[in-house]
């Protein structure tokens, strides 16, 4: 299966369980690997024959910036559902990270894979 990538999408949103984490938006880094057959677009060179990654990214950004989840796990699940509602996406790998969330680490996060039933 082919893959469409969105790497290091930086959004600012409320995520976390402590009052300090919930007081202000913080950086959230999102990576997507969308499994799709891109062969038709490879032949036609027409955006209508593939998944428009810009549209997916904009919807994911808007959601992550406004939802205010407590855990990266829940946000990753939400993002997977958003991606899978787009025609042509058969599966998705979602990684959600919080930079600087743990002292002496670059970031912490989760990575999940979900597929159409």
**β strands within 1-117, DSSP E:** 2-13, 26-36, 91-99, 107-115
Q: Any catalytic annotation for residue 58? A: no
Catalytic entry in 3, 7, 81, 98 = 98
The structure tokens listed for 32 are 């997507």
Three-state DSSP at 65 gives helix
**Which residues have a catalytic role annotated?**
98
């Amino acid at each position: 299966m082919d893959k469409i990538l969105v790497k290091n999408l930086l959004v600012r949103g409320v995520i976390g369980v402590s009052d300090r984490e919930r007081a202000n938006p913080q950086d959230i880094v999102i990576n997507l690997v969308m499994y799709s057959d891109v062969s038709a677009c490879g032949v036609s060179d027409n955006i209508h024959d593939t998944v428009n990654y810009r549209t997916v990214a904009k919807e994911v950004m808007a959601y992550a910036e406004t939802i205010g989840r407590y855990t990266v796990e829940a946000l990753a699940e939400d993002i997977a559902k958003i991606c899978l509602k787009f025609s042509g996406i058969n599966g998705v790998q979602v990684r959600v990270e919080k930079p600087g969330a743990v002292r002496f680490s670059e970031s912490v996060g989760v990575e999940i894979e979900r597929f159409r039933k």
